[in-house]
Structure 1
């Protein structure tokens, strides 16, 4: 129901409660937007180190392929720095159901542990020279 003015015509506008509810809804929407923007910013900061970790893992697998060596079973840790990032790679070699292949997985961390920045795996075949 619209309030009636002293002149007898209905007044136009919003009540104080309506304005406060609208401001509350706007504040909640803006807070959600700021939180989402903060998450995107944090994700963007991690991109360079994840990219460097991906390069390190790929480099380790490429070195293994180029060496043409049959990798021994088990895991090894080694330094794999990339630019300004001091990274540690963990190479894990496992058997596969086919004895002519081995599964090699390289996991990359920042030095000192922490979360996994990259994980790359490949299957390495036994070279024909080693079969004989």
Structure 2
């Protein structure tokens, strides 16, 4: 009869070891999921910071940069970003270095490099010339 009793179930020690293994596995899985969530948030912040830099670079391309430095603040995705632009002239190009941070923080989240052509000064004689005429048939004048 003693043999039948042993074959029917697990001992208390076996159950405790199994519970310990399950507990360790679940805690490791929880830590992995938490780490993935933190990495996802960091990736999201860096993506928004890169978008802020690209927005600023496009504004500078449209409006020009009247100096060698610019600090712009903008709100994007519910966060206030500070974009610092520094320009250096190299040959016939202006190299723009953009660094993006959250307002009030020192650590940069994104860096972007862009290039603009150096503006060519317009001479007075060129500015007062009549517009160029395109060759071809004359447009019809309304009666």
TM-score by length of 2: 0.64
Q: Return the alpha-carbon distance in structure 2 between the equivalents of residues 130 and 15 of structure 1.
A: 91
Please name the residue that 1:124 is paired with.
116
Distance in 2 of aligned mates of 1:125 and 1:72: 14
Give 1:35's aligned residue.
31
Are the aligned partners of 1:108 and 1:117 in contact in 2 as well (CA < 8 Å)?
yes
1:112 to 90, 98, 104: 104
SS at 1:116's partner residue? coil
Q: Does structure 2 retain, via aligned residues, the 8 Å contact 1:106–1:121?
A: yes
How far did 1:130 drift?
A: 4.8
Q: Distance in 2 between matches of 1:107 and 1:68?
A: 18
Runs of 5+ consecutive residues of structure 2 not aligned to the other structure: 124-143
Q: Which has the larger radius of gyration?
A: 2
Question: Does residue 1:61 correspond to 2:61, yes or no?
Answer: no
Q: Size of the alignment, in residue pairs? A: 122
For 1:10-25, list aligned pairs within 5 A: 11-25=7-21
Note the C-alpha offset of 1:72: 4.4
**Equivalent position of 2:78 in the other structure:** 84
Once residues 54 and 19 of structure 2 are traced to their aligned partners in structure 1, the CA distance between those partners, rounded to angstroms, is 52
Structure 1 residue runs of 5 or longer lacking an equivalent are none
Over the aligned positions, Cα root-mean-square deviation in angstroms equals 3.0
